[in-house]
Structures are given as C-alpha cells and as structure tokens.
Amino acid sequence: MTSWITICDTCKHESWSAETHDRPDGEVLAERIEARAAAAGVNTRRVSCLMGCTHGCNVAVQAPGKLAYTLGRFTPDDAAAQAIVDYAALHAESDSGQVPYRTWPQGVKGHFVTRHPPLPGEEA
Ligand code: FES
C-alpha cells in the first residue's frame, strides 16, 4: 500500500507578502509535489490548514498502520517538492513508516515537526 502526502494549500512561508505574492505558498508547493508524485508512486491530497501555520509550508506523510509524520518550514520550490516526494516513496516502501536516517533525502532533514504512531491494533 502506498503512502499519501497531505499538503496544506493555504500555508504561507515566513517570506510571504500580499504585496509580492498572489496566492498562498502552499498552492505552489502542492502543484510541485503533485507534478512529481505519480511517477514516484505516492498519492497526494490537499487540505486547507494543518494547524502549523507559524511554520509553513507544511505537509503530512501517512499510510494506514504506519508511523505518520508532519513536516514543515519548507519553501515552495522544486527542491523541497522533490525531497518530500522522495521521502514519501521511502515511507511507502518501509514496513512501519520508519525510514532509516541514512536514506533520508537531504531536503527533509530539519523539517520534521511531529510523529504519530498508528492507532492500537492498526500497526502494519
Ligand atoms: S495554513 Fe498551513 S498549517 Fe495552517
């Protein structure tokens, strides 16, 4: 079973300004993630707010029965999108959702915000 990337499409990076931006950074990041996700075999969906607004851009990586993670403080660029997708593909390949640190894409290091264990009885 594959993993899902849930992308907050209303996030604004700390550099966001109404004077220089015409849409939320989260929309930009979502487009860039979506453009790469199918090729990597992971699913995506958008939500408006993951309640991490002070440290956007935010995403969550989840799969049934596995450890789930939220990651934040991303700038909405191609490098961040690729790192998130690459990490989600590794999450999908893992048995428990725990991806060995040595295999983490460089671009996700320092971006982990929370980890959620699977509900009791739902562990993979
Ligand atoms: S707007 Fe993205 S977490 Fe709240």
Q: Which of 13, 25, 58 to mutate to test the pocket of ligand 1 (most atoms within 8 A of CB)?
A: 58
Query: Does residue 74 have a pLDDT over 90?
Result: yes
Of 123, 24, 32, 109, nearest to 71 by C-alpha is 109
Q: Does residue 122 fall inside a structural domain?
A: no
Q: Which of 50, 57, 74, 111 to mutate to test the pocket of ligand 1 (most atoms within 8 A of CB)?
A: 50
Q: Does residue 104 fall inside a structural domain?
A: yes
Name residue, tokens 């993670």. Answer: 69
- Which percentage of the chain shows pLDDT scores above 90? 95
What CATH code is carried by the domain that includes residue 80?
3.40.30.10
Q: Does residue 88 fall inside a structural domain?
A: yes
Distance from residue 12's CA to the centre of ligand 1 (Å): 7
Residue 8's pLDDT band, with cuts at 50, 70 and 90, is very high
User: What order do you get walking across the sheet with 43-47 strand by strand?
Assistant: 43-47, 4-8, 59-62, 68-71, 112-116
- Interacting residues of 110 by C-beta distance below 8 A, sequence separation 6+: 73
Query: Does residue 1 have a pLDDT over 90?
Result: no
| Number of domains present in the structure of the chain | 1
Query: Does residue 14 have a pLDDT over 90?
Result: no
Q: Does residue 41 fall inside a structural domain?
A: yes
Domain that holds residue 83: 4-115
In this structure, are strands 59-62 and 112-116 parallel, antiparallel, or unpaired?
Answer: unpaired
**74 vs 15, which has greater pLDDT?**
74
Q: Does residue 121 fall inside a structural domain?
A: no
Q: In 22-111, which ranges are continuous DSSP H helix?
A: 25-40, 78-93
Of 74, 70, 69, nearest to 13 by C-alpha is 74
Query: pLDDT per residue over 89-122, tens digit each?
Result: 999 999 999 999 999 999 999 999 999 999 999 9
Residue 124's pLDDT band, with cuts at 50, 70 and 90, is confident
